[in-house]
């Protein structure tokens, strides 16, 4: 158990809909990262937050957004969903801004029908 | 785009044998990490090696890093059935504060009992 929790575990929704994925980092970790894992794209970094502020952006679509709240939990919002958004979404946390190991949550499996 | 590329894509060996996986990357790095993923689950951090290190050990794991060749290898000695998983190398870009990890496509390791 990494100490990172994600909810929900599974999500099935229709095209065009909007969903919110939630992540609670390990106790004391200030950095939160979001990743998408799909068969064709592999593991892709989406976005990083550090202590409530956006720190780095990766391959995140404009339809996706995230935020980190004062209690350090984070949410990833996915809107106008398309079939291609079906994937595993992982949250990870670390205690440092950069350069250290990341601890991954169990993931949320999103299926868009 | 993929920064790290693992080789081989898949590897099947007998329990007790050693398993070696290789990773190549394209740009300068601060550090390189190896992660393990059991089917459909979250990633587990295995080992981190910094750009000024050449070799690192952790239990049955041995990692080497050759920055001149932009490559790394992961050796698992005396493999066990429980080592069956996908293994990913991950790099973070040098400086810039952008610390989302870039993952390769992974090596799927199967340990035959």
Residue B96 scores a pLDDT above 70:
no
Average pLDDT of the residues of chain B? 89
- Do you find a cis peptide bond into A8, omega within 30 degrees of 0? yes
Which residues are CB-neighbours of A11 under 8 A, at least 6 positions away? Answer: A19, A21, A108, A109, A110, A111
Confidence of residue B3 (pLDDT cuts 50, 70, 90): low
- CA distance readout (Å), B6 to B2, B9, B23, B106: 10, 7, 4, 5
Mean pLDDT, residues A47-73 taken together: 94
Average pLDDT of the residues of chain A? 94
Selecting from A56, A88, A109 the residue whose C-beta is nearest the C-beta of B97 gives A56
If interface means Cβ-Cβ distance under 8 Å, which residues of chain A face chain B?
Answer: 2, 4, 31, 33, 35, 42-48, 55-58, 88, 90, 92, 97-107, 109
How many Å lie between the alpha carbon of B106 and the closest alpha carbon of chain A?
Answer: 9
Q: Supply the pLDDT for residue A97.
A: 63
Selecting from A45, A103, A107 the residue whose C-beta is nearest the C-beta of B101 gives A45
Q: How far apart are CA A27 and CA A5, in angstroms?
A: 11
Please report, rounded to a whole number, the percentage of residues in chain B having pLDDT higher than 90: 68
Q: Supply the pLDDT for residue B98.
A: 53
Residue from A46, A52, A35, A43 nearest A92 by CA: A35
* A63 against B39, higher pLDDT: A63
Q: Answer yes or no: do A43 and B103 touch at CB < 8 A.
A: yes
Residues of A in contact with B42 (CB under 8 A): 2, 4, 90, 104-107
Q: Supply the pLDDT for residue B28.
A: 84
Residue A59 scores a pLDDT above 80:
yes
Please report, rounded to a whole number, the percentage of residues in chain A having pLDDT higher than 90: 81
Residue A64 scores a pLDDT above 70:
yes
Residue B1 scores a pLDDT above 50:
no
Please report, rounded to a whole number, the percentage of residues in chain B having pLDDT higher than 70: 90
If interface means Cβ-Cβ distance under 8 Å, which residues of chain B face chain A?
Answer: 2, 30-31, 33, 35, 40-45, 48, 88, 92, 97-106
Give the other-Cβ count within 10 Å of A80's Cβ: 13
pLDDT tens track for B16-71 = 999 999 999 988 888 899 999 998 788 999 999 999 999 999 999 999 999 999 99
Confidence of residue A38 (pLDDT cuts 50, 70, 90): very high
Q: Supply the pLDDT for residue A100.
A: 78
Selecting from B30, B41, B48 the residue whose C-beta is nearest the C-beta of A106 gives B41
């Amino acid at each position: 158990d990494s100490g990172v929790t994600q909810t929900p575990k599974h999500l099935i929704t229709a095209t065009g809909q909007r969903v919110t994925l939630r992540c609670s980092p390990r106790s004391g970790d200030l950095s939160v990262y979001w990743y998408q894992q799909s068969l064709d794209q592999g593991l892709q970094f989406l976005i990083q937050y550090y202590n409530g502020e956006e720190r780095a952006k990766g391959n995140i679509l404009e339809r996706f957004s995230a935020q980190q709240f004062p209690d350090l939990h984070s949410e990833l919002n996915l809107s106008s969903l398309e079939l291609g958004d079906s994937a595993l979404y992982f949250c990870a946390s670390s205690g440092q801004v950069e350069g250290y190991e990341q601890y991954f949550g169990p993931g949320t499996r999103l299926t868009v029908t | 785009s993929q920064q790290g590329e693992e080789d081989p894509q898949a590897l099947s060996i007998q329990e007790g044998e050693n398993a070696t996986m290789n990773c190549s990357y394209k740009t300068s790095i601060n550090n390189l990490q190896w992660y393990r993923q059991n089917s459909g689950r979250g990633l587990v951090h295995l080992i981190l090696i910094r750009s000024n290190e050449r070799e690192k050990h952790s239990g049955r794991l041995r990692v080497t890093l050759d920055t001149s060749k932009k490559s790394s290898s992961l050796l698992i000695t005396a493999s066990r059935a429980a080592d069956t998983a996908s293994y990913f190398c991950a790099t973070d870009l040098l400086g810039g504060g952008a610390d989302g990890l870039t993952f390769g496509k992974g090596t799927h390791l199967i340990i035959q009992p």
